[in-house]
Chains A and B, each alone.
Chain A
Amino acid sequence: MTTTTPVAADSRAGRSKRPSRRGRQEGIAAWVLALPFCALFLIFTLWPVLQSLFMSVTDTKSKDLRTPFSVDIVGLDNYTRALSDPVFRKAMFNTAYFVLIGMPLTLGLALAAALALDKGIRRFRAVFRLGFYLPVITSIVAVAVVWRFLLQHESGLINTVLGWVGIDGPNWLGDPNWSMPGLIMMASWRNFGTPMIIFLAGLQSVPAMLHEAAKIDGASALQRFRHVTIPMLRPTILFVSVTTSIGYIQFFEEPLIMTNGGPLNSTISISMYTYKQFGFGNYGFAASMSYLIFVIIAVVTAIQFRLLRENT
């Protein structure tokens, strides 16, 4: 911590501080009003966070829950154990695979759908918009049932269509090499609705005069998209990619319902492995993995902010 911060803070506080009675009363009133929030925050937000952090450096198991403090502190053992656990590593690899392929695919689909809705589709626009958004608000359980049929090996719709063009479709959920692509397809289809809506709003806020000016200068549609639309969308892209990546790093429901992490652990994600460890009662170990996920999310978000920040 630098010494400049408190000084700056003090000087700012000093400027706003008025030694009048009224000001002090207002201050007290503000505190009284803020007290319920502060109390709730401390008890229900800060305390659980601190306790889980504490848990992550102990050997807490489910049978210790009645006496949460009579456990041994093991330092960073849980963290090193997680990082050297072959299944956790596999889960990290799977999650990275899912995010690196799934996120661009989702955002690409979302942008394409948003462009179509903004420029191409004139009729039934509301119907299309609803249709694209529908998977987001549909229960994952119902979606999973449908997708299990779609992804079936011999009679599934996807493989039937692939068969029409002479491709022998894989055993999507049964083959460890194809299970992840299968889930990525499903997740992209399910999740592109939200970024699409946000992109649509972003596209509609691009000033038409910029496009007109570029058109007069002789820019083609592709050039206008590349040099006008994309730069104007930069803040939207940043927002959408940060929210999507946070969701995707915690990728959990799809493998839990569709494959239970299999076959051969090819679809187990870090969230799901953490969940399983909680289920086994290894609370300390699982808590340390939760914090590892938190660190990964923080780092990935920081990288995105750095890459996509506005060039001012």
Chain B
Amino acid sequence: MVDEKLLNLILLCIPLSLVSFGGGQTIVASLQHQTVDVLHLLNGPQFTDLYAISRAAPGPGTLIVALIGWEVSGLWGAILATLAIFIPSSILLCILGSYWQRHRRSAWAIAAEKGLAPVAVGLIFAGVFAVAQSARFTPLELATSLGAGAVLLTTKTGPYPVLAVVGVSYFLLSLGGMA
């Protein structure tokens, strides 16, 4: 049931769970590096595909580990990787949550709340950089990313209409032999 690849994935997920301040976006860079370059569970294009699916799927971005688990060893892989990413952080939350709540008005607690943000920002950009680098975007894809980013940043459009428009456009471009 648990082969070496799956065991490696689980052992990767547990510590990441405990440092995933800010959720799935912040651990993407490390997931990409570890699963592709270090553990060789996936190749670069495969990781980009799974990243695309996880960003288009509902629910937390953290569920990308379910997709990696599925690629590595099917249904059990998906279930165990999901448990490995959610359970450690949940246990920590249950243990430390009430302590935090009681002391949240202290100056240090307020500083901790604000001090996590710069780390999360750095990690999110690191994730974007890691995926963009391994995806080796063509000029058309780069333009798509920048265009989609501009739409998401400057309008109130949610990600789903943008995903739908881009998905259909790329399908048509592919039929026309242009992408």
Q: Do A and B bind each other?
A: no
A contact set with B: CB distance below 8 Å: none
